[in-house]
Structure 1
Amino acid sequence: MTTGAGEQAPRDGGRAARRLVSTMRARLAPRRVRAALSVAFVLALAGVLFTASAQLARGTERRHPEDLPQLVQSEEDRADGLSGRVDALRSEVDGLTAAQPGAVPTGDATTMENSGVEAGLVGVTGPGVVVSLTDAPTTGNYPAEITPDDLVVHQQDVQAVINALWSGGAEAMMLMDQRVTATTAFRCVGNVLSLGGRLYSPPFKVTAIGDQDALRAALDRSPEIAIYKQYVQAVDLGWKVKDDDDLSLPAAPPPSLQYASVPKGTDPFGDASR
């Protein structure tokens, strides 16, 4: 049976369609692989983020509180714990101290005595020197460049004497009638010395117990005192150093410590809950 040209065309069209489908499948295959990989990557990333979020959520209770009331409570609990630790350590120290022999070794007693002398807590007697500084006369035949400020003893002049005597090995010292200690502070206002809440007028006297030759040598070595002595020569400022073999320096009054406190009726944590 003979087939006409009209029947051959559909057969050729069917083959072309099958070839087109095969070609499209070949082209789409890599895209499907990439899409599958992308989906897998997104799912893996989502899993990692979910795990991290869960870990952070579990760790929230270990974080330091951020709101002020919780912070205050946390610090109060911490302070209570430390206070308990301090009490326990203090009890341990007290127990160890009570277990020690009652007698104090000679070396320790000497150390305590020396510390008391340095702190000014005990009276001291012995040889030493007395240095006196006083103002120059208010009237005199002074050069034109001399001012009234050059005629008075200044704070740095007194400080120079004290520093020189300490460097010369002074064992104890007294300014005017007050013992010089580590907490001694004085100030000169005009020709008045303010010391320990009291005011003194010149002459200003510094008393030091120690080796007299060493103390005098230290005064002579001081550059500040050398400058002061130039004014002694120029305007007749007062300067006198005297040896004394029987000096007596009284003890300084016990120090009174002051500290800040919260006024009555004030709650330091009153605004903590706001």
Structure 2
Amino acid sequence: MTRPALPRLLRLPSSAGRVRPGLTVAAVAGIAGLMFAASAQLASGSSGLRHPTDLAELVGAEAQRVDQLTETVEALRLEVDDLAAAAPTGTTEDPALVRLEGMRVGSVPVTGPGLRVQLDDAPASNISIPNVTVDDLVVHQQDLQHVINALWAGGAEAMTLQGERVIMTSAFRCSGNILLLHGRVFSPPYVVEAVGDPTALRAALAASPGVQRYLGWVQVVGLGWSVRDVDALELPAYTGSTELRFAELPPGTDPLR
């Protein structure tokens, strides 16, 4: 294919002043020097680390930093637990109540029967289905929220999303088909595990209008969906911060009920 001719350059009116060549070269050289100096200064950070140059690298770097901080927090938490166990106490607490409190705040691991629910994006080839858009083929934030809320309503004692313990202060956000939870990044398939009575949990999923809407899209575009009974789920303890800075329980509310 023949390239089209380039457009002719516009000519400046004869009255336009000309810049002296020597002055132009000097100005360009000065600007180039400043640019090289700024570039060298940015490249020579005190840490000597390579800085991310795009969003993907930035997310990867931050995820690695979160992993390192999580390991540090876990080590400190174990140290605090050891010190607390060794410290003398003048009161005797009910072990069952302590266990229940730990389950509610997610500070202790939980093992027991329950459900494993998995949601996944539909095959990309299903975009050929009439009136279907790319947005219809991915699992959305509200889909996960409907599943999690239904399982809590069904009496779940403890829950994880992508292996991360879900507690009352947990918040997650979806961007496209990327899930952000507790400072970490996850991709589908999304797995929710809940310890509780499997029959009651299944009934709660069936009673949820939001879950039923998702199942409708499962039939139309092939979104992934599976529910399995598990005899012995092992859910880890939550290792992040549980401090509430901008929220409080309403008066008369029992957090253990």
Match of 2:191 among 205, 212, 216: 205
Alignment match, 1:167? 153
Q: Is the 8 A contact 1:127 1:247 kept in 2?
A: yes
Q: d(CA) in 1 for partners of 2:242 and 2:157?
A: 24
Larger radius of gyration: 1
How far apart are 1:105 and its partner, in Å?
Answer: 4.9
Are positions 1:125 and 2:111 aligned together? yes
Q: Is the 8 A contact 2:108 2:236 kept in 1?
A: yes
Instruction: In structure 1, give the amino acid aligned to 2:175.
Output: V
Are positions 1:226 and 2:219 aligned together? no
CA change 1:199–1:254 in 2 (3 A) is closer
Q: Structure 1-normalised TM-score?
A: 0.55
Alignment match, 2:234? 248
Q: d(CA) in 1 for partners of 2:188 and 2:205?
A: 20
| Number of residue pairs the alignment of both structures matches | 157
Q: Is the 8 A contact 1:172 1:208 kept in 2?
A: yes
Instruction: In structure 1, give the amino acid aligned to 2:229.
Output: D
Are positions 1:104 and 2:89 aligned together? no
Q: How does 1:4-15 map to 2 (within 5 A)?
A: none
Stretches of structure 2 that go unaligned for 5 or more consecutive residues are 1-88, 246-257
Match of 1:214 among 200, 223, 233: 200
Q: d(CA) in 2 for partners of 1:222 and 1:173?
A: 18
CA change 1:258–1:226 in 2 (3 A) is closer
SS at match of 1:242: strand
Are positions 1:148 and 2:134 aligned together? yes
Q: d(CA) in 2 for partners of 1:228 and 1:168?
A: 18
SS at match of 2:167: coil
How far apart are 1:111 and its partner, in Å?
Answer: 1.9
How far apart are 1:103 and its partner, in Å?
Answer: 4.7
Q: d(CA) in 2 for partners of 1:199 and 1:103?
A: 43
How far apart are 1:256 and its partner, in Å?
Answer: 6.4
CA change 1:117–1:142 in 2 (3 A) is same
Stretches of structure 1 that go unaligned for 5 or more consecutive residues are 1-100, 260-274
Q: d(CA) in 1 for partners of 2:113 and 2:140?
A: 27
Cα deviations across residues 55-89 of structure 1 (Å, max 9, x unaligned)? Answer: xxxxxxxxxxxxxxxxxxxxxxxxxxxxxxxxxxx
Match of 1:176 among 162, 168, 172: 162
Q: d(CA) in 1 for partners of 2:92 and 2:176?
A: 50
CA change 1:194–1:221 in 2 (3 A) is same
How far apart are 1:144 and its partner, in Å?
Answer: 2.5
Q: d(CA) in 2 for partners of 1:257 and 1:113?
A: 19
SS at match of 1:139: helix
Cα deviations across residues 212-263 of structure 1 (Å, max 9, x unaligned)? Answer: 000001001100011000110000000000110011001000416598xxxx
Q: Hey, which of these two has a bigger chunk of helix by percent? A: 1
Q: d(CA) in 2 for partners of 1:166 and 1:190?
A: 26
Q: Is the 8 A contact 1:131 1:242 kept in 2?
A: yes
CA change 1:189–1:168 in 2 (3 A) is same
Alignment match, 1:194? 180
